[in-house]
Structure 1
Amino acid sequence: MGEELKPADPAEIADALSDALRYDGRRRVHDADELMARIVAERLVEHLRRCGFRLVRCGAGAALPDTSRHRHPNADRQPDDA
């Protein structure tokens, strides 16, 4: 992991959480009001910050961190294997 991780912007985290509360994939969830989703997301971000969580964002194209010591079952498989 050669690229440095940088602290995530709280507004970006709140946006991501708000979208997660309003959408299920690409489908709009109609049981979550947009304003309520924004309020909940902002409160969650603030709570995580107070609890000492540090959310970071990887740069574009950077591999995501992996804490697993297990190899992926398809790690040795080539793309043209069927």
Structure 2
Amino acid sequence: MPDAEPARAALADLAPAAPEEVAEALAYALRHNERGRPRRGAVAGWDFAAGIAAEHLAGHLARAGFVVMKRRPARPHSAG
């Protein structure tokens, strides 16, 4: 299977994300649009509610047996 080798190489660059990292990413997605700008029309307390919702979702994913994978940090390059 020639297609299996690139898939294995891609998996080698992945590591399980911590539940806190998943919650942080979900909270960011709830607070900001796809361009990274704060969502329009957010009412007072929305940041707080987004954080609570993100923690709840991350906890549920962990209890349901889901594993969210994250790329390992890239090595710092040397200039020169």
Q: What TM-score do you get using the length of structure 2 for normalisation?
A: 0.66
SS at match of 1:57: strand
1:31 aligns with 2:13: no
Q: Aligned pairs, how many?
A: 61
The percent of aligned pairs where both chains have the same amino acid is 36
Runs of 5+ consecutive residues of structure 1 not aligned to the other structure: 62-82
Q: Deviations over 1:17-66 (max 9, x none)?
A: 001001002221142611000000000001111111011111135xxxxx
- The match for 2:27 is 18
Which protein has greater RCO, CA pairs closer than 8 Å, 6+ apart? 2
* Structure 1 residue 4, shift from structure 2 partner: 4.9
Q: Which structure has more helix as a fraction of its residues? A: 2
Q: What TM-score do you get using the length of structure 1 for normalisation?
A: 0.64
Runs of 5+ consecutive residues of structure 2 not aligned to the other structure: 1-8, 75-80
Give distance in 2, aligned partners of 1:34 and 1:54: 26
1:51 aligns with 2:64: yes
Q: Could you say what the CA RMSD is over the residues aligned between the two structures, in angstroms?
A: 1.8
Q: Of 16, 28, 39, which aligns to 1:7?
A: 16
